[in-house]
A and B are shown apart, each in its own frame.
Chain A
Amino acid sequence: MAAMTDPTRFSRRSFVHARLARQGAVFRDIGDAAVADSFPGRNGLATRLALIDLSPLPRLGRKGRGALDALRAADIPVPPVNNMALYNSDGAIIARLADAEALILPDIELAGDTLDRFESSPERAGCYPVPRGDSHFWFVLCGTNAVACLQKLCGVDLGPRDFADLQIAQTSVARLSAIVIREDRADVPAFHLLADSASALYFWDVLCDAMDEFFGAPAGHAALRELSTRPPAENAG
């Protein structure tokens, strides 16, 4: 069991940490922040329907005409088409948002070094950092009812037939412009949801309300870890 920690011990905090604390979250340290690790008494939600806040985890954005070349120069694989993601060998997700824009999400246990490696790589012309760790919250909605739950909020068909694993939709979810990345875990549908950090609390509450119908609820980082199986190495670029 994770050691309890106070998220306000850190200067970097989730945009919804106060709400998570009120909902009974137990936090644990991860990197330079604290993540809601579990909600005592709630088990097995992640396979049914769970909402998990990963906002305290780092993430990295790059924009500009040289952004994708910069990734390649750092030996980071780039998806061949826009709105697709792939895994790096350390489990990081490389999401190609446009011809000139990419987003990198670390593996959820921060075991890899893709972000650090890229940040320390030489600057390249036409490649500019985008503060995705602060501009966007990062939630994960997972469970067998995740697609049905998202259908209450989003006009894009996110079902498995039309929205495959590691596909990206940049669309409106509950009237917020959001980045939706599908990353199923052990055959359980899971969606990374990233959108305006200032609207994080609004979005969290909207999702909690939408989850009610399917008996879903907030869950912690531990629930996602339990769900997770390593992505096959051969998927790495």
Chain B
Amino acid sequence: MTEDRLAPPYGVMLDRSKAVRFSFEGREYRGFAGDTIASALSANGVWLLSRSFKYHRPRGILSMNGDDGNCLVQIGPEPNVPADRQPISEGLRVTGQHYKGSLRRDRRRWIERFSRFLPVGFYYHAFFKPRGAWDFWEKRIRATAGLGRIGQAAPATEFDKAYAFADVAVVGGGGAGVAAAIEAAQAGSRVVLIERQQLLGGSLNHARFDPASRRGIDTAKALATEMDALGEHITVMSDAVCTGLFADNLLAVTSGNKLTKLRAGSVVLATGLIEQPAVFANNDLPGVMLGSAVQKLLWLYAVRPGRRAVVVASNSDGYGVALDLDDAGIAVEAVVDLRYTIAGDSLIREALDRGMRIIHGYAIERALPNSAGTHVAGIELRLRPGQESGPESRNLECDLICVSVGWAPAAGLVAQAGGEVAYDDTRCAFRIVSSPDGIVPAGAVRGEWDLDAAIADGRRAGRHAAAGGRHDSAIDEPTVTPESNPWPIFDSDKGKAFIDFDEDLTPHDIENSIAEGFDDIELVKRYSTVGMGPSQGRYSATNAVRLTQILNREPLGGAAGWTNRPPTEPEKFGLLAGRRFEPQRLTPMHHHHEAAGAPMMLAGDWLRPLYYGNDGESAVWREVTAVRENVGIIDVSTLGGIDIRGPDAAEFMNRMYTSEYSRQSVGRGRYALMCDVSGTVIDDGVACRFADDHFYVTTTTGGSTAVFRSMLWWNAQWRLDIDMSNVTGAYASVNIAGPKSRDLLAPLCPDIDLSPDGFPYMAVRRGRVADIPARILRVGFVGELGYEIHVPASRGAALWERLTAAGHPFDMCPFGVEAQRILRLEKGHIIVGQDTDGLTHPDEVCMTWSISERKPFFVGGRAIEMHRRRGVARILVGFTLPAATKILPEEYHLVVRGDEIIGRVTSIARSSTLGHPIGLAYVAPDQAEPGIEFTIKGPGGRLIRATVSELPFYDPQNLRQAT
């Protein structure tokens, strides 16, 4: 093995028995199972992992948390994979991203030289003059923008989602979170514990709490023993991130390619702290890391983070880092303590006892780069004003700068849930001020930083959450709070100091935003884009708020950050799309249509045959001819069906539909037109009266749910004595249409008199068809003698088979939606939704005949009266085109008169029966008389003259359908 690793007990994440080969930037490396890309590369001495967003600066490990933007890499087609979170696997091919040339020698590095021309918000001011300049610049800017490349040829990947449930959800599996889970489970709660790392324990696994470095390990072991005893009462979701906390304690938890929607009775948020960077020149150089990142490299991955280190400290945690480095055999050049006074805790005493050099009174001037500019080679310090002893400037040689200057609570989920988070200037950090009922912050995120205090707080929170988590809005004061530097921002003209690594933002950018007038923190964020990158402000918000408040001359205490919104960490679109649930409805005869080679179309949720065979237009014409001259069969199971039963059924129908139904005879059908309260036509069908107290009303395909919902809504107010059942799926239906339909059906219906007198047009019957119980409607949508047969859905396929067999001697032809559209158009029947729109009222589509004048009320009646008083502005008419017309207008092409838009074409087809094109269109009332010509703006803007025609085009005396 070429990599340099520390011996155990370092490297708790590693399985050293399993070597893993992978490549980075085309070169092969080896790591161990359990390594992340970043840990394995760093063990191999590779510290340059990516290039920065704007200036293409070299970047490497910052946090080892997997949630910053400094080490995003590309894996195959997937960009922006956090190298400090993604495990390596055998054969994994990893590349850097956002560079031109090579990662090491990025040819776009020159951009930084022009940084003074690229201040924050420059794109709001530049490139707009002279006219057309933006067109030129946009292409170039877009070519350099973005991070990584999405492989458009990427193979489809499975994404999954699931629901989960808990009495108590604990987010964060550090000491406080585990303690909370234990207490809640002991109280009888069903607990789900969510931890973003693979290993429970959080900082217990890598932080140093005592000189002997035992407390963390011992505490973790004790908690693990306690938890094991609780068995299945605690479900652990490790390597899982809670990205959102929504109303009623719905948590979005992502893990790999799976999204879990977890519903919890109450939620403990033990999300811990986020170590904050210091802002100084070149603070982004590879080799400048947060102290906690250094400890993770050591303890979790057995990686030496450097050979010679300088620790920049503002708290005792920095001394813990220094001691850890010392224990691992890494030279600690110095601890640069930024505080003016140093409290003497045990870690500091241990560092002093070991003879470590501790430097006071200095500020950071800059990190010094190596000759290639790709790694840190030293640190330059300058004497702070007011400090009298020591040289003005000091340079320390090192290849590692560890930054331990303070912490911010990982309070994003608390804020999402409606909690209040504000800056506390006595603690020099943000603090949770309140949280809603059911949301219980615990441990370090609440400010309890001492290990024992945090564990005790976790236990309290677990008990509290198990009891429901209700509390006063005020959060108790924490007993011990972490130490943070009040102003870890160091001005220097010797290099760029970054306040936000994601977007290459410096303090000057914040100043410029405020100078431009974007002075509120929310505006600063949007104008400067601070906090809008992959790390979402985790490593920039605290310093950005400090700077903004000071520049605005406003007090820091009580200052709020910007609004926290989900997701807390980047989510893949695949997770949001997840497992697809797209219900699709099939008629019971569907497999017969497929077997007959019918291409299918989507009609609402349904699949319907367009036509039968593979010869398109000629198939449609063949089907039309069969219906006109012989007999055809169409599957109309997709029509909606609603049973209305009860003593008030007729009254209900009267109110819901425009015609009068109280006088409708049993055994008769009647056209049913439905309007909404504004008088707009919304559906139509046939109302069949099977008994005094029973109507069966059909609806358009896809309309049944909305119609049924509307009926329920209205009768919730009317309280009529009826019952409604949407039986759409319960019936399979076919229409047998054509002059020979009666002859075909007669032998199949021994108990029904099919004679013209016995079963006249618009009559309805119940009986048996082909030995199957059926409801039969004599209707004429296609303008021929026809019977609509409705049978129980479970028998629909058998009905189709038996009718098809009976149809053989008649050369019966199945027909699809296309043929039906032409047939009904020849007959001048409208299709609601195609020939009507969201404003159409009945008089516009010549449905005046369907409106009863005798009823005191029906839905939309009053509005129709008002429409009539105002007069119609358009009328739907039939029109014809000359038979020789080669290119037809299309549906939705405009009807125009000069420059004025008058209406539109709603339906059009070549009629094989009539021998010329026919259609329906909205025209002005003065154009509606038969014989008048009007103009359609057809394909390519071509003006086409059409002639208004009487409706119906076919069989105007209704001799065929009523025969």
Which positions in A face B, CB cutoff 8 Å?
A: 8, 10-15, 18, 33, 55-56, 63-65, 100, 126, 128, 130-131, 133-136, 151-155, 157, 159, 161-162, 174-176, 196-203, 206, 209-210, 213
Contact = CB atoms under 8 A, between A and B. Distances in A.
Interface in B708-735: 721, 723, 725, 727-731
B583 A174 contact: yes
Contacts of B579: 152, 209-210
B793 A135 contact: yes
Contacts of B797: 8, 13
B752 interface: no
B723 A63 contact: yes
B126 to A, nearest CB: 48
Contact of A157 (B165, B583, B588): B165
Interface stretch (B156-164, B370-378, B455-463): B156-164
9 contacts: A12-B792, A12-B794, A13-B797, A18-B591, A134-B792, A135-B793, A136-B729, A152-B162, A198-B793
Interface string B257-290: 0000101000000000000000000000000000
Contacts of A162: 165
Interface of B: 160-165, 190, 261, 263, 579, 581-588, 591, 605-606, 637, 643, 645-646, 721, 723, 725, 727-731, 771-772, 792-795, 797-799, 801
B162 A151 contact: yes
A152 B160 contact: yes
Contact of A198 (B261, B587, B646, B798): B587
Interface of B is mostly: mixed
Contacts of B605: 199
Contact of A63 (B721, B725, B799): B725
Contacts of B731: 131, 134
Given A11-B772, A18-B591, A152-B163, A134 B583 contact: no
Contact of A134 (B586, B793, B799): B793
A15 B794 contact: yes
A157 to B, nearest CB: 4
Given A65-B723, A199-B583, 20 more contacts: A10-B798, A13-B588, A14-B794, A15-B588, A126-B646, A131-B727, A133-B792, A134-B794, A135-B727, A135-B729, A151-B163, A151-B165, A152-B161, A159-B165, A176-B583, A196-B585, A199-B584, A199-B585, A199-B605, A202-B584
A7 to B, nearest CB: 10
A210 B164 CA distance: 15
A148 B942 CA distance: 61
Nearest to B161: A152
Given A13-B797, A15-B793, A157 B263 contact: yes
A151 B164 contact: yes
A162 B167 CA distance: 11
Given A131-B730, A155-B261, A199-B584, A12 B725 contact: no
Contact of A201 (B582, B586, B798, B799): B586
Which 7 pairs show the lowest CB-CB distances between chains A and B? A135-B730, A11-B798, A198-B585, A157-B165, A134-B730, A131-B730, A134-B792
B725 A128 contact: yes
Contacts of B730: 131, 134-135, 197
A109 B731 CA distance: 26
A24 to B, nearest CB: 17
B514 to A, nearest CB: 46
A131 B637 CA distance: 15
A12 B190 CA distance: 46
Given A11-B795, A157-B263, A64 B165 contact: no
Contacts of A15: 588, 793-794
Contacts of A65: 721, 723
A148 B798 CA distance: 38
A201 B591 CA distance: 11
Contacts of B772: 11
Contacts of A134: 729-731, 792-794
A200 B730 CA distance: 12
Nearest to A209: B579
A174 B581 CA distance: 6
A209 B159 CA distance: 12
Contacts of B645: 64, 128
A128 B591 contact: no
A80 B639 CA distance: 37
A124 to B, nearest CB: 13
Contacts of A64: 645-646, 723
Contacts of B643: 128
A131 B792 contact: yes
Nearest to A196: B729
Contacts of A155: 163, 261, 263
B410 to A, nearest CB: 28
B611 to A, nearest CB: 22
B586 A198 contact: yes
Contact of A161 (B190, B263, B581, B583): B190
Given A64-B645, A151-B164, A206 B729 contact: no
Q: Which of A154, A174, A213 has the most CB of B within 10 A?
A: A174
A24 B795 CA distance: 22
A134 B584 CA distance: 17
A134 B775 CA distance: 14
Contacts of B160: 152, 213
A209 B643 CA distance: 35
B163 A130 contact: no
A34 B729 CA distance: 21
A168 B606 CA distance: 28
A15 B728 CA distance: 15
Contacts of B581: 153, 174-175, 206
A11 B771 contact: yes
A75 B813 CA distance: 51
B356 to A, nearest CB: 54
B163 A154 contact: yes
Nearest to A176: B583
A130 B797 CA distance: 21
A198 B606 contact: yes
A130 B726 CA distance: 9
B247 to A, nearest CB: 14
Nearest to B606: A198
A198 B582 contact: no
A210 B723 CA distance: 37
A151 B587 CA distance: 29
Q: Which of B190, B582, B586 has the most CB of A within 10 A?
A: B586
Nearest to B585: A198
A184 B445 CA distance: 44
Contacts of B586: 198-202
B106 to A, nearest CB: 44
Contacts of A100: 723
A125 B606 CA distance: 36
B794 A133 contact: yes
Nearest to B801: A8
Nearest to B731: A134
A12 B792 CA distance: 9
A23 B898 CA distance: 64
Contact of B794 (A13, A152, A153): A13
B725 A175 contact: no
Contacts of B163: 151-152, 154-155, 157
A13 B165 contact: no
A161 B232 CA distance: 14
Contacts of A135: 727, 729-730, 793
Contacts of A11: 771-772, 795, 798-799
A106 to B, nearest CB: 15
Q: Which of A55, A199, A203 has the most CB of B within 10 A?
A: A199
Contacts of B587: 198
Contacts of B793: 15, 134-135, 197-198
A154 B725 CA distance: 25
Contacts of B792: 12, 131, 133-134
Nearest to B166: A157
A13 B637 CA distance: 16
